[in-house]
Amino acid sequence: MSSIPSDYEERVYAGVLGKIIGVYLGRPFEGWTYDRIMRELGEVDYYVNDRIAHHPPLVVTDDDISGTFTFLRALPDYGNDAGITAAQIGQTWLNYLIERQTILWWGGMGNSTEHTAYMRLKQGYTAPHSGSIALNGKVVAEQIGAQIFIDGWALVAPGNPALAAELARKAASVSHDGEAIYGAQVLAAMEAQAFVESDINALLDTGVSFVPPDSLIAQLIHDIRAWRAIDHDWHKTRRRIEDKYGYDKYGGNCHMIPNHAVIILALVYCEDAPGINPGRAFQRALTIGNTAGWDTDCNSGNIGCLMGIKTGLAGIDGGPVDWRGPVADRMYLPTADGGRCITDAAREARRIAQIGRALAGETRPTAVAHFDFELPGAVHGFHSHTPNVRVKNEAGHSASGARSLAIPFTTETRVTTATFIPHDAMKMQGYDLIASPTLYPGQTITATVSSDADAQVSLFVRAYGHNDELEVFSSAATVVPAKQNKTLEWTLTGIDGGSPIAEVGLDVRAEHGAGTLYLDTLNWDGVPNTVLTRPKHNGTLWQRAWVKACDDLGFNWGWVVRVCQDAGTGLLIQGVREWAGYTAQAAVVPHMAKSAGLAACVQGLRRYYALLLCDNQKARLVKVFAQLPGAKNERHILAEADFTWQMDGQYEFSLTTQGDRIVAAIDGKRLFEVTDSDHPLLSGAVGLVIEEGRLDCDGVTIKPA
């Protein structure tokens, strides 16, 4: 019998929403003291972005979000095995992190805990040694990061706190040790148990049962629960916390202990008002956690996730404020897997639930569409360009499920969602938005719709064109008669492959009067048929479609791209994880290179196939993949042959992948045809690879195999 709760996917969605809402709420005043927050903002009960001097955007790149949902990918990457090792999770860091660009606070060795652990991993230390007190010292090893990134491990273990605590221990030990791991285990166990238990005190009992009773974390929780019983005022208890467990008692920049105390404070007081409902409890927990100060976005993210799981969507939606509307599910996960950066809470919840079901031995069909609206309230970032028109998730009007996206229309209404970096996200404070588009020329868009009144509907995209302005490309209009389901289909042609597609959407025009169009699903599939290169028009945003994981990158040397790497291996990547069964081609000019070439099925920095010219006058087909637990990254040579090549010579590379079969050619001559039966990489992006040298290229062609 399955151990998965019947409302599992919806509760995961609530947890993901709670996480991102909490982070977005606390981010603008991260690091402020309690006194400053009370003086300038008062008790924080809603988003305050418009009250902060520089008016920061609400939806931002943030390490608390991207780390949480990136490190969890270790599970599907290593077979969804509950026996996954800390070493494998460490390899996941090396695969998805781009040094000094994504996820971590790159504050320097010995200063930033996660940066220190990353450097240890690069140096060859494996987890858990990479995050140990023995290697990095007690202060560095006991900072807050262990609990920041921990929520995902609980979301895949519903009702199984022992599994959540064990996964949390392994994940936290990549970068942390000691009390930091205990704090992570407490939170993970509580969140996992929150799927089946709603009482806060029972959840706290569960959490502390997984850590030593003499640990500082256990003592802290005991103290706060005791103070709560006598104070009846969270402000008074907060002062006690500051006196006994404040920042001045611990070294480092952002210690685990004070911030864990704030989370416990918020939880023990969130239901103290008579007759408080779940929505009020969700809001009150966030208010306390944010007003208390210190690392507000981190603490608020953990609080929001736990309360989201515990109260469900009713808790998020049932209070006096609209938490979800301004967010519209939007979230960013910038990593070396650039095609998954532009995402949303509903899509990530589906992915997490799929992992959780696999761990529990239960399988269900994976949702096919990029966007369906089966999760209550989900809008997948869709918004209207028409004033005073707001899209809404509604029950019914679906041919394939139970819910749809309601789009009110009159004369003309346009709705879109992002497929690449939006204009308002081009400049982020802190962490740049590193991404590849998710939609490309040659792919086919399909949408299933219905309407309560006759309408004309077109699919359209907007791509960054001349001077980086958005240019509209649209399908022919289709008449959608009232009360009928209609499937729209459009293959993207006539779009320059160098013009990143920024949005996809629908244009709705009324035949008579007004009505509501219902979007059931919107999807695209197939391999692109395009050239990833410099566009024919002026503009620079095409450059940002490439994920830069190399030491230097230039666009003004007579070639479309010049990729340089001082030491080790660098990559330049574009595309999405789902591309499968394609041929990639590129003219490559190596200079002073130890090796250089073309990559396919790229799933990060340490998972790909590559056709390389090597400095010993060899051509090699290699697979980069750390397969065994704790194994260091190595290039596995699948095939090699003598090949005489010259510095600054131009060579036409071709790499075809179809299932587990890889075919490689240079200058039209087939060199290798290999079947990879050992954990084959079946899909992924394309890339250019350079090892200790320079590579010039005019672009990469991709087409169906």
| Residue 109 contacts residue 115 (beta carbons within 8 Å) | yes
Question: What pLDDT is stored for residue 365 in this prediction?
Answer: 61
Q: 629 falls in which pLDDT band (50, 70, 90)?
A: very low
Residue 135: pLDDT above 90? yes
What is the greatest pairwise CA distance in the chain?
81
| Residue 502 contacts residue 418 (beta carbons within 8 Å) | yes
Residue 362: pLDDT above 80? yes
- Cα dihedral across residues 172, 357, 375, 422: positive or negative: positive
Question: What pLDDT is stored for residue 557 in this prediction?
Answer: 83
Residue 66: pLDDT above 50? yes
pLDDT per position as a tens digit, 465-499: 999 999 999 999 999 999 999 999 999 999 988 89
In this prediction, residues 583-595 reach a mean pLDDT of 97
Average pLDDT, the chain: 94
For the domain made up of 367-517, give the CATH fold. Jelly Rolls (2.60.120)
DSSP-assigned beta bridge partners for residue 531 = 701
Report the top-level CATH class of 546-704: mainly beta
Annotated domain spans of the chain:
11-332, 367-517, 546-704
Least confident of 171-175, 196-200, 274-278: 274-278
Residue 368: pLDDT above 70? no
DSSP-assigned beta bridge partners for residue 669 = 666
pLDDT per position as a tens digit, 652-676: 999 999 999 999 999 999 999 999 9
Residue 393: pLDDT above 70? yes
pLDDT per position as a tens digit, 523-560: 999 999 999 999 988 889 999 999 999 999 999 888 99
Burial of 557 (0-12, 13-18, 19+ CB in 10 A): exposed
For the domain made up of 11-332, give the CATH fold. ADP-ribosylglycohydrolase fold (1.10.4080)
Question: What pLDDT is stored for residue 632 in this prediction?
Answer: 55
585 vs 1 pLDDT, higher one: 585
Tokens, residue 18: 């709670």
Q: 366 falls in which pLDDT band (50, 70, 90)?
A: low
DSSP string, 69-116: HHHTTHHHHTTS-TT--HHHHHHHHHHHPPTTTSSS----TTTSHHHH
| Residue 334 contacts residue 435 (beta carbons within 8 Å) | yes
In this prediction, residues 14-29 reach a mean pLDDT of 97
Residue 164: pLDDT above 50? yes
pLDDT per position as a tens digit, 243-298: 999 999 999 999 999 999 999 999 999 987 666 788 899 999 999 999 999 999 99
Residues in the chain, overall count: 705
In this prediction, residues 348-360 reach a mean pLDDT of 95
Residue 594: alpha-carbon gap to chain centroid: 33
Rounded-to-integer distance, Cα 143 and Cα 177, Å: 9
Name 45's Cβ contacts closer than 8 Å, sequence gap at least 6. Answer: 283, 286, 287, 321
Q: Where are the beta strands (DSSP E) in 289-431?
A: 330-332, 342-344, 371-372, 383-384, 392-395, 403-409, 412-418
Residue 193: pLDDT above 80? yes
Q: Do domains 367-517 and 546-704 have the same CATH topology?
A: yes
